[in-house]
Chains A and B, each alone.
Chain A
């Protein structure tokens, strides 16, 4: 059973080779065995999982089951789950039992999936190493002295160690693609608006997008079929129809035009990662694709623009945490201002505090034009770069990260060096485009991720491009030793 894909597990469930209850117990026992070391879960929902598995088994027995019925999944602790603690990795929400389900949770529940628990993450999804969690850092299963990436580090580590066959994530500046790369698994950040944000705790609303982790592109396609779609409860939800993402997985790549952004291969790129991506591009040529050099000249300015826009939106979104309606409240406040200030300072960690202050400053009187408005103009330039590129090519391929996983503690005291680890992913969020990371090799025992970027709503094409590569290579089926 170890490391079977969702497609294979679904087949076993439908042919009665295994029950959902047995499958759920298998993953729950792996979580018990390994998560003491990895710390990838904040909450394990054993009782609810076994109940859901029982219901799924009844559906399977009645022949009413769908492709995902009875398959376990872990949910990033940013998605509200009714009756279950939803902490967002923060002390602020350590006592928060959500009174409702996020749309994403509702969709997976309706498909008969079994939630194993809620995964660890950087506080309010701010971070690239999962070291900003109130619940402690997550370890990378490939080497537990290294970070799994972030902010969806718990989800990525859990899938890499096969504590769950799939997990959700969110990606505001790279928080799905970067941990997928660092943990050697497949991840997809869909187009902005493709997946509902309702009940997904807001960080930067114009950038946040829910997505997925799994071992293979095929599994991501199966899951995205359920996860994607219009939601009237999300005011920026896209009304675009959702295709069957599995239908085109095997389409030929003959004539596919791949764009290679020159800016992604600067001297800052780790040599082994560069070689691995070049080898992958040769593989694509064998599959019939043609390679074209392209330019994304505004890439270097995407991080500065992001670190104005994201904190600005964060400072506004996180103003809701006031110690009055839910979440952490300080003891014995003197007056209302003391209540606000102490509740917030006690509830938020360092990185969240930094970003709230940067955002507050950028939006304050006299600085708005120089920072926020300027950043939004850069944002348009970034999108124009991509629009020009997609006139010449069908997909863009490059590295996901400039380096493999770094050591726990290595960058935590230097916020700027942490920010720079998202150099290849952030522009995609600013432009709202879909992106993926898939395994493409190893350097010194640590995984290398390859990033695929498409034009808006081209998820089916990206999944197809990823799947054909995975049929020709075996990086995605490698597993970390000892798990």
Chain B
């Protein structure tokens, strides 16, 4: 699978990444060669094979629904880039009056 520069820009947008123009070109070449490489997978016949998501084939363990965590908001927000009155601040998303 060969990607175009537009494909790479779309992927970057989906992944919320900003690419400079020359980076988009470089990544187009590199990602295309990686995708070409992983397509070797098609050599294997897997029509009768079930996918394996977890090496131990485990199911997610469940636990009783009880409170196990206490509130550590102050500790967690101490490392946040911008907080105010216990809230995380981001650029305005809803236009005001």
B-contacting residues of A (Cβ < 8 Å)?
95-97, 99, 192-193, 206-207, 232, 235-236, 238, 298, 300-301, 303-305, 307-308, 315, 319, 322-327, 329, 333-342, 344-345, 348, 353-354, 356-358, 360-361, 364, 371, 373-381, 383, 415-416, 419, 429-433, 456
Contact = CB atoms under 8 A, between A and B. Distances in A.
B17 A357 contact: yes
Nearest to A420: B37
24 contacts: A99-B75, A99-B78, A193-B56, A298-B44, A303-B37, A307-B37, A315-B15, A325-B88, A334-B91, A341-B16, A344-B16, A344-B18, A357-B8, A373-B51, A374-B46, A375-B38, A375-B41, A377-B46, A377-B51, A378-B46, A379-B55, A416-B37, A430-B55, A433-B55
Given A99-B75, A235-B61, A374-B42, A336 B30 contact: no
Contacts of B92: 335
A323 B61 CA distance: 31
A236 B53 CA distance: 12
B15 A360 contact: yes
Given A324-B90, A337-B16, A419-B37, 6 more contacts: A238-B56, A298-B44, A300-B40, A325-B88, A358-B34, A361-B31
Contact of A329 (B39, B42, B81): B81
Contacts of A333: 91
Interface of B: 3, 7-8, 11-12, 14-19, 27, 30-31, 33-35, 37-44, 46, 49-56, 58, 60-61, 63, 72, 75-76, 78-82, 88, 90-93
Contacts of A340: 16
Contact of A374 (B35, B41, B56): B41
Contacts of B60: 235
B38 A308 contact: yes
Nearest to A432: B55
A361 B7 CA distance: 9
Given A354-B31, A360-B14, A364-B14, A377 B38 contact: no
B56 A432 contact: yes
Contacts of B52: 376-377, 379-380, 383
A303 B91 CA distance: 42
Nearest to B36: A416
A358 B31 contact: yes
B73 to A, nearest CB: 11
Nearest to A97: B79
* Majority-rule SS of B interface residues: loop
Contacts of B79: 95-97, 99, 326
A176 to B, nearest CB: 16
A30 B40 CA distance: 47
A373 B55 CA distance: 15
Contact of A305 (B15, B31, B41): B41
A374 B40 CA distance: 11
Nearest to A379: B52
Contact of B44 (A338, A358, A378): A378
B50 A380 contact: yes
Which 10 A/B pairs are nearest by Cβ-Cβ distance?
A: A432-B55, A376-B51, A377-B46, A329-B81, A380-B52, A345-B18, A304-B38, A341-B18, A360-B15, A340-B16
Contacts of A353: 17, 27
A341 to B, nearest CB: 4
Contact of B93 (A324, A335, A415): A335
Nearest to A353: B17
Nearest to B92: A335
Contact of B58 (A236, A377, A379): A236
A253 B77 CA distance: 55
A336 B15 contact: no
Contacts of A323: 81
A193 to B, nearest CB: 6
